[in-house]
Amino acid sequence: MTTTASRPSASDRGPRPTAPGPGFAHLTRLSDDTGLFEHARHAIVRREHGYCTDDVARGLVVTSREPEPTEEVLRLAECYLAFLTHAQDGGGAFRNRLGHDRRWTDAPGLGDWWGRALWGLGTAAARSPAAWIREEALVAFSRGANRRSPAPHAMAFAGLGAVEVLRRHPAHAAAAALLTDAATTIGGPGSDPRWPWPQQGLTYASAALAEVVIAASQLRHGGPPLDDGLRMLAWLRDVQLRDGHLSVVPAGGWRRGAARLRHDQQPIEVAAFADACATAATVTGDPGWEAGVHQAVGWFRGDNDVGTPMWDPATGGGYDGLTPHGPNLNQGAESTLALIATLQHVRRWS
């Protein structure tokens, strides 16, 4: 069920809520002692849809990014780590979907969920303040890092996990090889300045691909040129700006040569863009990339095509998508995690 708000007029919108630092109240609401439920109707969990590795992995990313986590955030990280280790088979692949009856509904595979699992595990291995979480996450990451997916997005997400591990463990051979292969699978920009993207279409979380190329240029000897990733990200930024605000490629994607639609825009695009701009700012020292982070935060605050906030201050949940009529008021895991991930950058560039 999709619930949307009617589009407010300029006089009805009123002041936009100020984006706070990241809050975990709604993430806690969506979680139990097994994992993180995928969907919600408004702010109420839809238990019948169960859990997925994709979202649990992203949950481990954001909880591990907290420099001074509360006891509750550490509990969530422990829960998510246990879920991922349960989802992983002996060869390093992962199952993705677990029903509320605690039964897996799929076989282990190397889809996006494998890549995101390695992203979550790599982030926990590098950043968790709890030594035992770091140690267990590194074991599971190392097992999965020896596998490869033919899909650029899956490899990009896995590459982000490798980036995290290499920043803490520069000599980690499996992470180094994985990052190299991720950048190769993604490819470099084309020669046509009108479409300098490695693929013929933009689909989802596109900025993650550029971020991996940028990071690989710094962390791998003989890696891609830094300018390759920066060109990709700069073009993506330029085509997603409209009247000074962020207008991300919608869920239907955008094929080269086709008309570009404006809706439905997904929070995952905004979070990926914020992460990539933060990485570009760190790598280059160019404060111009900080503007991208602010635009991403602004999108959630209401600086978007509809002029409406994309989060609920009462619950702390992120809305599931931006439609022509306003937000989809459901507050599922993916959108809430995207909100948290974006707001985590406010600490650095506030």
The b-or-e profile of 257-267 (16+ CB within 10 A means b, else e) is eeeeeebbbbb
Residues constituting the chain: 350
348 burial type by CB count under 10 A (0-12 exposed, 13-18 middle, 19+ buried)? exposed
Q: Rounded to an integer, what distance in angstroms lies between the CA atom of residue 56 and that of residue 30? A: 11
Confidence of residue 328 (pLDDT cuts 50, 70, 90): very high
Please report the pLDDT score of residue 114 as a whole number. Answer: 98
> Predicted confidence band at 13 (pLDDT cuts at 50, 70, 90)?
very low
pLDDT in tens, 276-315: 999 999 999 999 999 999 999 999 999 999 999 999 999 9
**Which residue reads 């890549």 in tokens?**
115
Q: What is the reported pLDDT for 7? A: 39
pLDDT at 10 over 80: no
What pLDDT was estimated at residue 9? 37
Q: How many CB atoms lie within 10 A of CB 121?
A: 33
pLDDT at residue 19 above 60?
no
pLDDT tens for 42-85 read 999 999 999 999 999 999 999 999 999 999 999 999 999 999 99
**Proportion of the chain above pLDDT 70, given as a percent:** 94
Residue 8, pLDDT > 50, answer no
Q: What percent of the chain has pLDDT over 90?
A: 89
Three-class secondary structure of residue 168 per DSSP: helix
pLDDT of residue 83: 98
Residue 14, pLDDT score: 42
Q: Look up residue 290 and give its two tokens.
A: 């900080």
Torsion of CA 162, 165, 171, 176, to 10 degrees: 0
Cα atoms in the Cβ-side hemisphere of radius 13 Å centred on 48 = 1
The pLDDT of residue 18: 57
pLDDT in tens, 235-259: 999 999 999 999 999 999 999 999 9
What average pLDDT does the chain have?
A: 93
Averaged pLDDT, 137-160: 98
pLDDT digits (tens, 9 = 90+) for 184-238: 999 999 899 999 999 999 999 999 999 999 999 998 877 899 999 999 999 999 9
Please list, in sequence order, all residues whose beta carbon lies within 8 angstroms of the beta carbon of residue 5, skipping any fewer than 6 positions away: 308, 325, 326, 327, 329
- Comparing CA positions, the residue from 325, 336, 331, 332 lying closest to residue 4 is 325
Average pLDDT over residues 137-153: 98
So what's the pLDDT on residue 220? Answer: 80
pLDDT of the residue at 262: 87
